[in-house]
Amino acid sequence: MRKSKAIIREFAVSIFLLLASPCFAQFPVQDTADHGVMDTLYISCTAPDFFEKDSITVNFDLIFWTDATFRHEYLVVWSYSFLMTSSNSVAFARVILDERADGPVYKGTAVGIPNDWQARFNGAVPQSGVLPASVFYGAVQDFFPPQNAGPSLFIGTHILAHILIKVKDTTTIFIDTQSVAIPEGNAFFRNDGVQYSPLWIRSSCAVSSLTCLYKPGDANGDGKVDLADLIFMVNYIMKGGPAPTFECQADLNADKIVTLLDVVVAVNYLFKGGNPPLKSWACCL
Ligand SMILES: [Ca+2]
Ligand SMILES: [Ca+2]
Ligand SMILES: [Ca+2]
């Protein structure tokens, strides 16, 4: 009798767990070393930052939020790897690799407190940074004076890193922590040496296309498409002359490279009533 009661109880527990487990699965588990509200880690997508030759560089901020108020729970070390992918292979998305502490990738700073941390940008696979890539970031607080022994990170929102990705076309960048081989391991360390994991919130950031800046075929960028552009293109392609601001100005057949074929399009258009240059990228006026 006792045995059958035990079996029934076991059965009931199994059923309960079976029913409850999908519910549990929907809620992330909070690390026991993360007190109070769950600390979070996420990417903030910002508008395109600045234009360079034929590309734009987009700034993604890696942001950490914590409610740590006890000094022993302050964050002093972090190391994290991300899987970055791009929805459009033609965009040639590439994370910019720069190990300088004050470089554009990672400025080694919490918000408003410059250079409090020793920046550490660990690398990327592949090394070129071309997406898809696994990219590793991290920083260790500089404990020892007279260096900038700044404060550890406590309650508030902090920018851990500026992640710069260069793109050449419209795309959506996905930044995730899943399915990544992690040589160093993802690690966040508190001031008392306890390791824990804040909740990662998956991000995808749409990189919008440029506004139209030039007419296709306006290689010298003076607003007109004429013989001067043809000369400009020939000088650029054949004689190492100056490049257009955006490659698309001279990419008249819109195949993403500037070759003599584009000169042929220009000649046909200007002198033989051929098709006008194709619009692409920022050359869509
Ligand atoms: Ca917390
Ligand atoms: Ca022109
Ligand atoms: Ca072309």
Overall fold of domain 40-207: Immunoglobulin-like (2.60.40)
The CATH 2.60.40 domain(s) of the chain lie at 40-207
d(CA 142, CA 109): 11
Asked whether the predicted pLDDT for residue 207 surpasses 80, the reply is no
Ligand 1 centroid – CA 37 distance (Å): 4
Ligand 3 centroid – CA 210 distance (Å): 19
Ion ligand 2 nearby residues (CB, 5 A): 218, 220, 222, 224, 229
98 pLDDT band, cuts 50/70/90, is low
Query: What is the residue-averaged pLDDT of the chain?
Result: 77
Strand duo 94-95 + 156-167: pairing: antiparallel
The CATH 1.10.1330.10 domain(s) of the chain lie at 210-285
Ligand 1 centroid – CA 66 distance (Å): 5
Query: What is the assigned CATH class of domain 210-285?
Result: mainly alpha
101 pLDDT band, cuts 50/70/90, is very low
Task: Give me the percent of the chain exceeding a pLDDT of 90.
Answer: 27
Question: Which ligand is nearest the CA of 233, by number?
Answer: 2
Question: Which ligand is nearest the CA of 259, by number?
Answer: 3
Phi-psi region of 154 (alpha: psi -120 to 50; beta: other; left: phi over 0): beta
Asked whether the predicted pLDDT for residue 129 surpasses 70, the reply is yes
Ligand 2 centroid – CA 55 distance (Å): 20
Amino acid residing at 215: K
223 pLDDT band, cuts 50/70/90, is very high
Q: Is-cis flag, bond preceding 244, omega within 30?
A: no
Ligand 2 centroid – CA 216 distance (Å): 9
Query: Is the pLDDT higher at 121 or at 16?
Result: 121
Q: Is-cis flag, bond preceding 126, omega within 30?
A: yes
